[in-house]
Structure 1
Amino acid sequence: EAREVLDPNTVRILERNLSVIEQAIEDSRQALAQDPENEFLAAHLERVYERKLSYLREAARVAEWST
C-alpha cells in the first residue's frame, strides 16, 4: 500500500487535499440537488470530479516514484 512507502507528512498532505476535494464534491452535489437545472453547478461538479481524478492519478505517481 502507498501509505507504507510514503513519508507520513506526504500522506497527511495528500489526505488533507483529498478531503478538501471531497468536501467540494459534496457541497456541489448538495447545491445541484437544490437547483438541478443549474448548468453552472452541473459543470462545476464535473470539473471537481475531474480534479479529484487528476489528483488521485498524481498521488499514485508519487507513490510509484517512492518505491
Structure 2
Amino acid sequence: MNLKNNDVIEARCRSSMARRVFISGPIQGVEEKQAYREKISALLIQYGYEPVDPWQREKVLYRGPP
C-alpha cells in the first residue's frame, strides 16, 4: 500500500480523534453530585481514551469563584 503524506497525517488525526470521549450528563441542579465524572474519567484513561469533561471548565459558573 502506497500512502501519500497527507493520507498518513489524516489517518493519525482520525485515530487520535477517535480516542477522545465527551462526558455528558446533567449539571444544573445537581452540582454537588458530579463525583461519577471522576470515576468515568479514570476508567477512560485506564482503557486509553482521553476524557473531555465540560464540568472541569464550567463548574466555576455553577459554584461561583473559590
Question: Is the pair's TM-score, using the shorter chain for normalization, greater than 0.5?
Answer: no
TM-score interval, normalised by the smaller of the two chains: 0.3 to 0.5
Max radius of gyration: which structure?
A: 2
Q: Which has the higher helix share?
A: 1
TM-score by length of structure 1 reads 0.38
Q: Per chain length, whose mean CA-contact separation is higher, i.e. which structure has more relative contact order (CA < 8 Å, sep 6+)?
A: 1
Q: Which has the higher strand share?
A: 2
TM-score by length of structure 2 reads 0.38
